[in-house]
Amino acid sequence: MLTRRKFITSIAATGGLGVAFLSMRALGLASSVIAQPTPIFPPEIGKGIHVVILGAGIAGLVMAYRLERAGFSVTVLEARKRTGGRNWTLRRGDKVELNGEAEQVVQFSEGMYFNAGPARIPSHHQGLLGYCKLLGVPLEVEVNFSNSDLLESPHAFAGKPIQERQAINDFRGQIAELLSKATNQGALDHELSADDKDRLVAFLRTYGDLTKDGLYKGSDRSGYKAPPGAFDQLGIKRDPLSLRDLLKDEALAGMMFDDNIVMQATMLEPVGGMDQIPHAFHKSIKSSIRLGAEVKRIGQTSNRAEVIYLDQRDGTTNRLSADYVVCTIPLPVLAVIDNDFSAPVKQAIADAAYDHSAKIAFESQRFWEAEQIYGGLSFGTPATGVVWYPSSGFQSARGIILGAYVSGKAATAFEALPISQQIEMARNAVDQLHPGHGIDLSRPVAVDWNKVPYSLGPWMHWQDSPTDAAAYRLLNQPEGRIYFTGAHLSQLPSWQEGAVVAAHRTIELIAARVGVANSSAKP
């Protein structure tokens, strides 16, 4: 009996690994789904082939892990003294170096940590989660949204913050009342049948917690002025907020935060910090990972690629020759590295526009838990963005709270301020939401991502949409023996999943190229 295994083995023997690989793909034996950690090409396809990977962020680590398991000889060069790239967790004693700023030394208590880069993983990012499972990285729930979190607006509610539950449910009730009235007054007669209208009004009564006559008079969904208690102590629900006041709240969009597909529950995080992921990769990769190796030049000939790098440990300049180079270096950093890329590729790299983002973290006693807040984000003023509460260590004495997490135009202005002023603004943002508790915040750490060496930005946006941008398409193809990859070359540029799927695609490109070459070399 000719099994599929024997069939593929015979193809490999006669046509080479490249033909075998393509046959496996055609038969569905080698998956084309990139968001999974299973092998995506035959083992030993890379035997005798050397690949140099530039950068030990998530994309570089995925590349190294997969390529060495397919028989490639792999060398990883990383300018930092750690793996992980933007995946960066700070603990006591760590140093934060920002271009143009004084060095910060983290003073958190032992056991405390701050995810300066990515801090959450959506449940549908199965590529990254698959590697967590494969590498034994334990996960816990990241509380990304809580109805106890706060919305702040200087133009509504006398400038006092309100709970998310009140904003969400009062807004829902007020909108349900309006739609119910419009339906009953015949405004939707052209859209709905009589039965449809009856069903809609009945649904709105439940959806908005309306009275029998279709009015919104408040709901215990929005919380209590006095909670229910023992014996005859009935709960007293809050007075409903008016739609007019709700519409004045500049932070109102925060109540829809977790509707975004990448923010929906369940969100996850590694136990003990996001850097547990690169640590697990590093332990599982047998190939050489050279830390403190700063790339100075990238070049190639018709049959070899070459990298020149500075070893920061001893100050020596070294040269590496390889069959292929995979470059995961962030584009603003790559733009100033000497290379012999073609003019269009150089221009595409130079034109890449990275966003701005900053985080300010403090250690504090957990005053927020006395306000029913266990994780999630409160939405303050645009100048400082969100206040982010920890999702672990509940009811312990102390925790790490972000007083500011700001991105986009607001972050551009924020990062231009002195670090001391950024910290003070973050402290004030917490005090506005939690009056009197700004003084509880201690041991601040500021991370301005556009000032982080070897990153120079958090994530990027192309001048056009990523789907249509010529530069995006160009850099997703090899430049001779040089391949570019990373989250910035995926449709998920601000997520670690983007690094995983981009790396998987690049591995497939290399595997197909090498397989075809091996096949053509057969007599």
Count CB-CB contacts under 10 A for residue 237: 17
The answer to the question of residue 256 being in a domain is no
CA distance 363 to 387: 13
Q: Give the CATH number, domain containing residue 270.
A: 3.90.660.10
Q: Do 394 and 340 have their domain in common?
A: no
| Helix, strand, coil percentages in the chain from 3-state DSSP, rounded to 5 | 35, 20, 40
Residues ≥6 apart with Cβ < 8 Å to 461: 353, 354, 355, 493
Same domain? For 443 and 364 the reply is yes
| Residue 259 in domain | no
**C-alpha–C-alpha distance, residues 461 and 459, integer Å:** 7
Confidence class for position 31, pLDDT limits 50, 70, 90: very low
DSSP secondary structure code for residue 372 in this structure: T
Same domain, 338 and 468: yes
Q: Is the pTM of this model over 0.85?
A: yes
Q: Quick one: pLDDT at residue 6? A: 45
467 lies in the same domain as 477: yes
Q: Is the peptide bond before 485 cis (omega within 30 degrees of 0)?
A: no
Q: What are phi and psi of 319, to 5 degrees?
A: -125, 130
Residue 270 pLDDT > 80: yes
In a domain, 100, yes or no: yes
The three-point CA angle 225-228-233 to 5° equals 105
Rg (CA), the chain: 27
Highest mean pLDDT among 252-256, 350-354, 437-441, 469-473: 437-441
Quick one: pLDDT at residue 110? 97
**More confident: 468 or 253:** 253
In a domain, 157, yes or no: no
Q: pLDDT value at position 519?
A: 58
- What's the pLDDT score for residue 333? 98
pLDDT, tens digit, for every residue of 41-90? 777 899 999 999 999 999 999 999 999 999 999 999 999 999 999 999 99
Asked whether residue 457 is domain-assigned, the answer is no
Residue 378 domain-assigned? Answer: yes
**pLDDT tens across 411-421, in order?**
999 999 999 99
Paired tokens of 286: 């047998």
Least confident span in 247-256, 347-356, 385-394, 498-507: 247-256
Q: Please tell me the total number of residues recorded for the chain in this structure.
A: 523
Token pair recorded at residue 491: 């449709």
The tally of domains found in the chain comes to: 3
Where does a domain end: 408, 423, 451? 451
Residue 30: pLDDT over 50: no
516 and 394 in a single domain? The answer is no
The CATH number of the domain holding residue 28 is: 3.50.50.60
Same domain (yes/no): 342, 361: no
The CA distance from 262 to 491, in Å, is 12
Helix (H) or strand (E) holding 504: helix 496-520
In a domain, 159, yes or no: no
Residue 158 lies in a domain: no
Res 443 pLDDT > 80: yes
Do residue 79 and residue 57 come from a single domain? Answer: yes
Q: Which domain holds residue 427?
A: 90-148+264-274+356-451
Position 252 scores a pLDDT of: 86
Report pLDDT for 154.
Answer: 79
Crossing angle of helices 17-26 and 496-520, in 10° steps, is 130
Nearest to 80 by CA among 104, 64, 56: 56
In the block, tokens 């509610």 appear at 157
Does residue 474 sit in the same domain as residue 328? yes
Q: What's the pLDDT at 206?
A: 98
Summarize pLDDT for 330-365 with one digit per residue, the tens. 999 999 999 999 999 999 999 898 999 999 999 999
Q: Where are the beta strands (DSSP E) in 244-374?
A: 267-270, 288-291, 293-300, 305-311, 316-322, 324-327, 338-339, 353-354, 357-365
Please write the tens of the pLDDT for every residue from 133-143: 999 999 999 99
Asked whether residue 380 falls in the same domain as residue 446, the answer is yes
Q: Is the pLDDT of residue 22 over 50?
A: no
